[in-house]
Amino acid sequence: MSCILLTGSSRGIGAAAAALLEERGEKVIGHATRSGGPETIAADFLEPTAAQMLWDGALEVSGGAIDVLVNNAGLFDPNPIEGSDVEWLDKWEETLRINLSAAAQLSRFAVKHWQERGAKGRIVHVASRAGHRGDSPAHWHYAAAKGGMLAMHKTIARAYASQGITSFAIAPGFVDTAMAGDYLESRGGEGLLADIPLGRVAEPEEIARIIAFCALDAPESMTGAVIDANGASYVR
């Protein structure tokens, strides 16, 4: 049984991944912004110390050994360039902090944890198609954070593979969660689907299956890979 720290497990893709991993008999330590629980730790990534508190709390719950980190929590909040200068910068920094800095902090804690124990470990990063393709005019920050996450993932994979520490990234297109729902609605809903050859957005359970594969099954030789899940809307 692996012990898996999964950020953003309260809803959407994270909740689907937690359910699937638990079904497979793994121990999942969940996370949400506020609402905690016995196996769900509250940490608002807007706070610079939150990632450290989450990691320390998760280590305690795990009994001292975490095998897999899944960086899934994220925010998709529009930031139109027409906003005030201060507002735009604030939103930029909030998104970078939640979507990239917290994932970087947790990844660093995880790598050091495995190095100290001489143990193998895996990181799964839930990035986005936006990290390759860019995003809407109101989402420079989101695309930049996800592009940064992909670059960080590749760096980790290359740096620590020889120590048995592997890194996998997933780049979903639209997924049917609250995050995409509001956006699809605001951009004309069905019209956007014309851009997706598959004709539909992904289900959270589909991304959860890829998370579980990366967390548990992917061969070590796949370290450094980025797995697309976008209905062929962006084919690299």
Q: Would residue 142 show up in a list of annotated catalytic residues for this protein?
A: yes
Minimum distance from CB of 107 to ligand NAP (Å)? 14
The Cβ-side half-sphere exposure at 209, using a 13 Å CA radius, reads 6
- By CB under 6 A, the residues from 178 to 207 that bind ligand NAP are 178-180
- Give start and end residues of each alpha helix (H) in the chain: 12-23, 50-62, 85-96, 102-117, 130-133, 140-160, 178-186, 190-193, 204-212
Is 95 a binder of ligand NAP (CB under 6 A)?
Answer: no
Minimum distance from CB of 108 to ligand NAP (Å)? 17
Catalytic entry in 142, 160, 183, 234: 142
Eight-state DSSP code of residue 216: I
Alpha carbon distances (Å) from 111 to 69, 153, 160, 167, 177: 10, 12, 8, 10, 30
- Mode of pairing for the β-strands spanning 68-71 and 40-42: unpaired
Eight-state DSSP code of residue 35: -
Is 106 a binder of ligand NAP (CB under 6 A)?
Answer: no
Is 167 a binder of ligand NAP (CB under 6 A)?
Answer: no
What is the DSSP code string of 71-99?
A: E---------TTS-HHHHHHHHHHHHIII
Minimum distance from CB of 126 to ligand NAP (Å)? 4
Residue in the shown chain whose Cβ atom is closest to ligand NAP:
12
Region near ligand NAP per CB under 6 A, out of 19-27, 38-46, 60-68, 81-89: 38-46
Minimum distance from CB of 8 to ligand NAP (Å)? 3
Region near ligand NAP per CB under 6 A, out of 12-20, 59-67, 105-113, 220-228: 12-20
| 48 or 64: CB nearest ligand NAP | 48
